[in-house]
Amino acid sequence: MNLTRSRRAITIFGIKQRGFCTSEFSTTSTTNDNVEKDSIFISNLVSIVRGNRSWKIVFNDPFISRNLRTHHVEAVLLQTLDNSRLALRFFNFLGLHLNFNHSTGSFCLLIHALVQANLRWPASSILQTLLLLGLDTKEVFEAFLDSFSKCKFSSTSGFDLLIQNYVQSRRIFDGVVIFRLMKNSNLLPERRTLSDLLNELVRIRQFKMVVEVFDEAVNAGVKPDTYMYTPLVRSLCELKDFDMAKQMISLMESSGCDLSVRTYNVLIGWLCKNHRVHEAFEIRNNFSHRGLQADVVTYCKLVIGLCKVQELEIGVEMMNEMIEFGFVPTEAAVSSLIEGLTRKGKIQDAYDVVNKVGRIGAAPSLYAYNALINSLCRDGKLKEAESLFNNLEVKGLRPNDVTYSILIHSFCVKGEIDIALCFFGKMTRAGIKATVFPYNSLIKGYCKLRNLAAAESSFDEMISKGLMPTVVTYTSLIDGYCKEGKLQKAFRLYHEMIEKGVAPNAHTFTVLISGLCQSNMMNEAIRLFNEMVQLNVMPNEVTYNVMIEGHCREGNTAKAFALLDEMTEKGLVPDTYTYRPLISGLCSTGRVSEAKEFVDDLHRKHHKLNEICYGALLHGFCREGRLKEAFSACFDMVKRGMDVDLVCYAILIDGTLRQHDTRTCFSLLKEMRNQRLQPDNVIYTSIIDAHSKAGKFKEAFGVWDMMFSEDCMPNVVTYTALINGLCKGGFIDKARILYKEMLTSNNAPNQVTFGCFLDGLTKGGNMEEAVQLHNMLREELLANTVTYNILVRGFCKLGQIQEAASLLVEMTNNGIFPDCITYSTIVHEHCRRGHLEEAIKLWDSMLNKGLEPDSLAYNFLIYGCCVTGELERAIELRDDMMRRGLKPTPNRRSNLRQ
């Protein structure tokens, strides 16, 4: 049967059809004789159709085939409505054997007839063929309505079939159009059809339209049933109109229609989702009055809702009641309850729930176990999680990729990468294919431990296995590079991820910006921050905090405060991580009083500060020697509900030591003990360092003994501070004794420790021993620019300038590069001897190596020029120095003036 409309050719039953025209256009004006002949022709056709003659032979007659028109077929169909199967055979015969183009009217007449005869499948097939013609929805309805009036059927089932067909074909809005056209023609679809239409509108989230269609149907006279009320209640809940949803349920109850627990479950679920659990319970408690009984859906929704509002004890009761009634809880209900219990530390209760649901065959129990393992890991109870994992096999369960991923991630976060790798190996041996998630955890874990080589290896391994890195993968590795100062690698990876179509997120940009700020590359950080905004990736609080700290580190507090205003204008909330660098920035630029005003202003605006913020303020006061104001700020802390912590005490003690106020220092130590705070290595080391630098070794060793008496063991920094003081005081032998003690206490000396000995030996003129010590450092790869500079200074002090100059060559040969101090020390010695040309040669060599001379280096050479009478050259150097933003010292200016 071929059907074509508006030049569109379609294939039906495998035959390509010609254009077809409706009866409206095929009907020609005829004379009365023609009308009579037409009537006889139709009557003969009906006889043929109802008779026993072969249709194939009869309709091959040239007279019939030449004169047969669509209105003839419509008339035959109308006269065979009592036998719809016969009508269907006739319709199909014409299409298949005569290649006849049926009219829309013929389709509609046959559909109505078949539906009335309860032959819905063939009716639906014919309807689908009709809709393939691409007719306008209104045009289809008008044809259906015209055919319906001709058939004079009482039932509107054909229209129901039309709506249902649109719904099944996902043409829901066309279904709504047909409903509204029916309503305007005083026709109404069945309630089942309307409920199907409403449910499909819910599926595509057209909740407002559900309410509109429901109201229109009721106003037109449809008496809704529970199947219509259920999508309505769901839509009202989606629209957050819970009061109206309750009213609709009351209306449903008063209307006398059959009630279904499903409708109530919809409202109960939504009330629980929105933390209105007590209202949900009230509805459930009234079930018995309505002749209803809660089902598994009711119980599960209530359990999940109770977990949301932390009513865990009632949740356990509901779970037990559900199990007693023989219901098997869903995975979501079990996992919600287990997570809630473990989060509250009720591990045993969580185990009990798992065991109970396991006994009734709640499947898959692994989901619940994963939830329990995840909760234990999140609370840092990794041993318990590992024990539960080991018991899975006893329970007849096989861990899946989720189980392993949870454990691998948790151990990586804790820094126990070896255990994480052990679980990764178990997963591989169990034949479970690794996803990107455990690799992300391993890469992040390696980066956290600063093992970038292992992180890169894991990255390459996951790619070789066909896994695509995500934004988390790239960002973790970029963060690792940035923390190690390898910005070139970080940006290379950043560009690689963009090329591969992985969009960077706010965290990606933040770690890059942080890396630039840490490397004092603020201009590049600002450019990247602006690029981030241009790419529509919105900076978050952490991004702004990083930028603010970067500007404060550079001393640009004006720009930092401008960013603070910008982030608040965007609705972002500053916190203590925002305020701390601002306070430190003001203090570091000598504006401690402004920092105090800023802190007071924050308190007036009810912004909560912490000890870290106050620590920055205390450090500012102590650095300027304003101890009285520092102690006043401490009183403010206590008054505002904060405790003076160990860091704050350390800052105050350091401040008193700077003022040589030993009495206040020990008073603070006593106060700490009264507050049950134990002084740590940092505090004791700062006191020992201050005493030893002042040459008060008796007091320094007294504090040293105090440390031991309080089981606070000195570390390498403490040993080095005391050794440094002894070396500077000329007590090298005593420093050696302390060095030996240091070795026996498993505190390995570092470059600074050896530098103290070198400094003491060179100052004492003992260059032979100093060189021996330095050679040992060089062999152990501990020699650096600082240790070489100490030797250079020692040789220069003894006038052995050739030995000092030879060290420059040795440094370079050993891969250690001289700095400005190395060159300026030898330059000064040449100038002091009057060897100006040698000094200038060395100066030029320093500049050629890209080293920037400091003010002291300039002053040395200017002094040398003045002494040798090279005033013009001295003035040139003075001008060059000032162009670089450096200032001559007063005594050098006086030399220049002379």
Is residue 506 scored above 90 in pLDDT?
yes
Is residue 230 scored above 60 in pLDDT?
yes
**Dihedral over Cα of 700, 706, 711, 712: its sign:** negative
Token duo for residue 566? 């910008």
- Give the predicted TM-score (pTM) of the model: 0.60
The pLDDT tens digits of the residues spanning 52-65 come to 888 888 888 888 87
Is residue 846 scored above 50 in pLDDT?
yes
Cα 262 to Cα 258: distance, rounded to the nearest angstrom: 12
Tell how many helices (H) and how many strands (E) occur in the chain. 52, 4
pLDDT category at 18 given cuts 50, 70, 90 is: very low
DSSP at 803: H
How do 8-9 and 11-12 pair as beta strands? unpaired
Q: In degrees to the nearest 10, what's the CA dihedral of 329, 335, 336, 339?
A: 150
DSSP string, 228-256: HHHHHHHHHHHTT-HHHHHHHHHHHHHHT
The pLDDT tens digits of the residues spanning 287-344 come to 888 888 999 999 999 999 999 998 989 999 999 899 888 888 887 888 888 888 877 8
Is residue 234 scored above 90 in pLDDT?
yes
Is residue 850 scored above 70 in pLDDT?
yes
305 Cβ contact partners less than 8 Å away, ≥ 6 residues apart: 268, 269, 271, 272, 273, 275, 277, 280
For residue 894, count CB atoms less than 10 angstroms from its CB and return exposed for 0-12, middle for 13-18, buried for 19 or more: exposed
Token duo for residue 523? 């201009």
pLDDT reported for residue 32: 65
Question: Do the Cβ atoms of 77 and 90 come closer than 8 Å?
Answer: yes
Q: H helices of 325-364, where? A: 331-343, 347-359
Question: Do the Cβ atoms of 720 and 687 come closer than 8 Å?
Answer: no
For residue 82, count CB atoms less than 10 angstroms from its CB and return exposed for 0-12, middle for 13-18, buried for 19 or more: exposed
Please provide residue 449's backbone torsions phi and psi, each rounded to the nearest 5 degrees. -85, 5
Cα 381 to Cα 406: distance, rounded to the nearest angstrom: 13
Question: Do the Cβ atoms of 686 and 650 come closer than 8 Å?
Answer: yes
pLDDT category at 889 given cuts 50, 70, 90 is: low
Token duo for residue 50? 């109802």
Question: Do the Cβ atoms of 867 and 835 come closer than 8 Å?
Answer: no
CA 643 to chain CA centroid, nearest Å: 34
For 4, the 3-state DSSP assignment is strand
**Dihedral over Cα of 776, 781, 785, 787: its sign:** negative
The pLDDT tens digits of the residues spanning 529-570 come to 999 989 899 999 999 999 999 999 988 999 999 999 999 999
Cα 622 to Cα 534: distance, rounded to the nearest angstrom: 43
What stretch of H or E contains 593?
A: helix 592-604
Is residue 14 scored above 70 in pLDDT?
no
DSSP at 9: E
For 596, the 3-state DSSP assignment is helix
pLDDT reported for residue 19: 35
Token duo for residue 756? 């103290």
Cα 841 to Cα 826: distance, rounded to the nearest angstrom: 11
Cα 301 to Cα 279: distance, rounded to the nearest angstrom: 13
Q: How many residues does the chain have?
A: 898
Is residue 458 scored above 90 in pLDDT?
yes
Question: Do the Cβ atoms of 405 and 438 come closer than 8 Å?
Answer: yes
Q: Could you give the angle at the alpha carbon of 214 between the alpha carbons of 211 and 220, nearest 5°?
A: 140
Cα 644 to Cα 674: distance, rounded to the nearest angstrom: 12
What stretch of H or E contains 302?
A: helix 296-308
pLDDT category at 1 given cuts 50, 70, 90 is: very low
Q: Could you give the angle at the alpha carbon of 210 between the alpha carbons of 207 and 215, nearest 5°?
A: 135
pLDDT category at 362 given cuts 50, 70, 90 is: low
CA 650 to each of CA 658, 681, 694: distance values in angstroms, whole numbers, following the listed order: 12, 10, 19
Query: Which tops the pLDDT comparison, 794 or 54?
Result: 794
For 883, the 3-state DSSP assignment is helix
Is residue 865 scored above 80 in pLDDT?
yes
Question: Do the Cβ atoms of 585 and 553 come closer than 8 Å?
Answer: yes
Please provide residue 9's backbone torsions phi and psi, each rounded to the nearest 5 degrees. -95, 125
pLDDT reported for residue 357: 79
Cα 563 to Cα 542: distance, rounded to the nearest angstrom: 12
Query: Which tops the pLDDT comparison, 44 or 561?
Result: 561
Cα 103 to Cα 20: distance, rounded to the nearest angstrom: 7
The pLDDT tens digits of the residues spanning 594-604 come to 999 999 999 88
Is residue 377 scored above 80 in pLDDT?
yes
> What's the mean pLDDT in 337-354?
81
pLDDT reported for residue 883: 82
From the list 486, 505, 489, 496, the residue with the least C-alpha distance to 463 is 496
- Report the share of the chain in percent with pLDDT over 90: 37
Cα 378 to Cα 369: distance, rounded to the nearest angstrom: 14
Is residue 10 scored above 50 in pLDDT?
no
Query: Which tops the pLDDT comparison, 368 or 815?
Result: 815
Is residue 30 scored above 50 in pLDDT?
no
From the list 236, 306, 310, the residue with the least C-alpha distance to 272 is 306
The pLDDT tens digits of the residues spanning 242-288 come to 999 999 999 998 888 888 899 999 999 999 999 999 999 899 988 88
Please provide residue 16's backbone torsions phi and psi, each rounded to the nearest 5 degrees. -80, 130
> What's the mean pLDDT in 433-451?
93
Cα 236 to Cα 234: distance, rounded to the nearest angstrom: 6
For 5, the 3-state DSSP assignment is strand
| 819-829 residues labelled b (16+ CB within 10 A) or e (exposed) | bbbbbbbbbbb
> What's the mean pLDDT in 128-150?
89
pLDDT category at 890 given cuts 50, 70, 90 is: low
Token duo for residue 170? 């996902």
